[in-house]
Amino acid sequence: MIDAQFLGMLVCPSTRRPLRLATAAELATVNAAIARGDCRNRGGAQVAAAWAGALATQDGGWLYPIQDDIPILLTTEAVAAAR
């Protein structure tokens, strides 16, 4: 999916802290919310399509989608992780 060296260079656009690959559980949670129609990104738009992958902030508070193996690191595209 994402090369480890490339992943090591990626940071959250808001905090400038490193990102990590989202866990299977984090991805399943966001996809369940998308399926229910309960998922809105930070920009306020409803997320309609399931995510194949995601990057997470170190604290797990925010998830950024990976689409076609490309991380979408726009602050408005982030989704708050369920806690």
Tell me, yes or no, if the pTM score tops 0.85. yes
44 in a structural domain? yes
Q: What is the pLDDT of residues 6-63, one digit of tens each?
A: 999 999 999 999 999 999 999 999 999 999 999 999 999 999 999 999 999 999 999 9
1 in a structural domain? no
52 in a structural domain? yes
Range of the domain at 64: 11-80
76 in a structural domain? yes
The total domain count for the chain is 1
What average pLDDT does the structure give for the chain? 94
48 in a structural domain? yes
Q: Are 19 and 58 in contact (CB under 8 A)?
A: yes
6 in a structural domain? no
53 in a structural domain? yes
Q: Which DSSP string do the residues of 29-63 spell out, in sequence order? A: HHHHHHHHT--B-TTSPBP-S--SEEEEETTSSEE
CA distance 14 to 2: 21
